[in-house]
Structure 1
Amino acid sequence: MAAYYKKPVLVLSEEEQTMLRQISQSRTAQVRHAERARMILLDTEGLSVPRIAAQLHTNVPKVDRCIKKALQLGVKAALDDLQRSGRPADITPEAKARVVSLACQKPEEKPNIQTL
């Protein structure tokens, strides 16, 4: 006999629903934020995780992670990526800006090797 699993219900305020609708329909929001907002909205409509995954053409674990994150941390935190482990970056923001500015500069003309 299979075990029956009842997932907790995610309840959103009107403000959160409005914010999620705006993000999910936005053309300028990050794609991952819009996708996660759609996942959360579909979950509040009562769809199952596999059905949400099928409707959004994604996989079940991804939807499950998003909904669990919304239940544990809140809706706004569920839209963002979690902090990952690893070594912090060695390059400073000033150094990054210098590299970008060098990359955007027009290259100097190279001397013609044949004339030398």
Structure 2
Amino acid sequence: MGVLAMKYKVYLTGEQRQQLLDIVRKGSSSARAIRRAHTLLMASEGKTDKTISSTLHISIPTIERTRKQFCTESLETTLKERPRSGKPPKLTSTAEAYLIATTCSNPPSGYGRWTLKMLADRLVSLEVVDAVSESTVFRTLKKMN
């Protein structure tokens, strides 16, 4: 059992317990909210992290984070979805505009059309981006149609 399991013990009021039971029974919330509700209900019943983990098929660190968030913040913030940042796009809107403008321009002399490699190299040579792969250029152009 982790250190957080000992430090953050879950105590639910009757109203909070009912709110969690409603989320679990109705099943209309997000899967993440339902899983967190199950976690908090089981934790308040005194179940160990290992038991919760094997029952709900989630990792012990996930259980510990859920306990911690409930104890340090509130039930509402524990249950709601927070946007996850994800990886920022390699090509910004400005870089996409350069890519499209380059694609629409005449290819270098001696070539009949632009290749993905030539377009990627042109974006780097113009210092629009530090580096870009041919597949990123392809995906961007495909998205733009």
User: Do the structures match in fold with TM over 0.5?
Assistant: yes
Q: Deviations over 1:44-100 (max 9, x none)?
A: 00011121111101111111111111111111111123455587xx9xxxxxxxxxx
Identity %: 25
1:27–1:85 Cα change, 3 Å:
closer
| Structure 2 unpaired stretches of 5+ | 93-145
Distance 2:17 2:60 in 1: 23
Q: TM-score, normalised on structure 2?
A: 0.51
Distance 2:28 2:84 in 1: 25
Q: Aligned AA for 1:75?
A: L
| Structure 1 unpaired stretches of 5+ | 91-116
What's the counterpart of residue 102 of structure 1? none
Runs of 4+ aligned residues of structure 1 deviating over 4 Å after TM superposition are 83-87
Shift of 1:9: 2.2
Distance 1:54 1:8 in 2: 20
* Native 8 Å contact 1:17 1:41 kept in 2: yes
What's the counterpart of residue 48 of structure 1? 48
Shift of 1:8: 3.2
1:45–1:57 Cα change, 3 Å:
same
Instruction: Report matched runs for 1:3-42 at 5 Å.
Output: 5=3, 6-42=6-42
Distance 1:29 1:80 in 2: 9
* Native 8 Å contact 2:24 2:37 kept in 1: yes
- Structure having the higher helix fraction is 2
Q: TM-score, normalised on structure 1?
A: 0.63
What's the C-alpha RMSD, in Å, of the aligned pairs? 2.3
Instruction: Report matched runs for 1:1-116 at 5 Å.
Output: 5=3, 6-82=6-82, 84=84
What's the counterpart of residue 101 of structure 1? none
Structure with higher Rg: it is 2
Number of aligned residue pairs: give it.
85
Shift of 1:7: 2.8
* Native 8 Å contact 2:33 2:81 kept in 1: no
Q: Aligned AA for 1:71?
A: C
Q: Aligned AA for 2:37?
A: A
SS at match of 2:7: coil
